[in-house]
Amino acid sequence: MAFTSKDVMDLRQRTGVGMMDCKKALVATDGDMEAAIDYLRERGMAQAAKKESRIAAEGIVYAAGKNGKYVLLEVNCESDFVAGGPVFKEYVAQIANYILDNTTASVEDVTAAMQTVTNEYVMKMGEKLSIRRFTVYESNDSEVDTYIHMGGKIGVMVEASKGASKDVIHDVALQIAAANAQYVTRDEVPASEVEHEKEILKAQALNEDNPKPEAIIEKMMVGRINKFYKDICLVEQPFVKDGDLTIAQYLKNNGNAAIIRFTRYAMGEGLQKREDDFVGEVMAQAGMIK
């Protein structure tokens, strides 16, 4: 698999490793980006790749609720200028209201149903608009709270057990936005993900300057895998408002609420931002490029 200088830059942005080492990693893995990340991590040169390491599209994450039904959604546009404007937010609110007022199975269903509205706003704003994703919670026997950070850069929706304090659920939503938990408890982490992490951690230990015996490495792995769980499991994370408490302890001290599930969207994660070739555009307009 071939790779380009842009791939090297992308790998550098995702890992924080120097350009030459990124190039070597891509050469060693035949241009496979994910394998190159593992290659660098195994050598202790990069931290765990974050799921939101490529936030490259414009738009907003938005939340709304009515009659016990809540929606968290992401809608994308082409420019930050449009994303920050009232007309785009008006459009996104209409999409959210449609989802709340109807039984919707997929993004494709919503896109088709709202196509006329979308076309009207495309004409108003002069940009392509895309309904990317949404999640719906209905709280008949539970409590739901939503939180939008930085005007729509990150959005969180949390469902907790019935009777849970709104303040407590909101604190949990803030925690998820800040610390980017992936699961509520370690029981939810897929075994394949745990095994993959163990392989990475073991390779790191073997590649250290003073490699340790296998028996010592196995003991070290216990602590390292516990740290892995602490990073990605909500209830094991230190509470951002009080680092002396884990989220599990915070919940126990405040009514013992149970977190059922959560959804966290970071605007544009995994999408490639359009790159405008302004020099080429000017040259083309001047007739210098055919």
pLDDT recorded at residue 144: 97
Which tokens in the block code for residue 138?
């209905």
pLDDT at 59 over 60: yes
Determine the Cα–Cα distance for residues 257 and 251; give it in Å rounded to an integer: 6
Question: Within its chain, how far is the Cα of 235 from the centroid?
Answer: 18
Confidence grade of residue 55 (pLDDT, cut at 50, 70, 90):
very low
Three-state secondary-structure class, residue 218: helix
Span 23-43, pLDDT tens digits? 999 999 999 988 988 888 888
Q: In which order are the strands placed within the sheet that holds 69-77?
A: 58-66, 69-77, 130-138
Backbone φ and ψ of 139, nearest 5°: -110, 70
Three-state secondary-structure class, residue 259: strand
pLDDT recorded at residue 16: 74
Record the pTM: 0.75
Residues 117-122, mean pLDDT to the nearest whole number: 90
pLDDT recorded at residue 41: 82
pLDDT recorded at residue 207: 85
pLDDT recorded at residue 54: 36
Confidence grade of residue 56 (pLDDT, cut at 50, 70, 90):
very low
Q: Where are the extended beta strands (E) located within 51-149?
A: 58-66, 69-77, 130-138, 142-149
Confidence grade of residue 206 (pLDDT, cut at 50, 70, 90):
confident
Greatest CA separation for the chain: 70
Three-state secondary-structure class, residue 20: helix
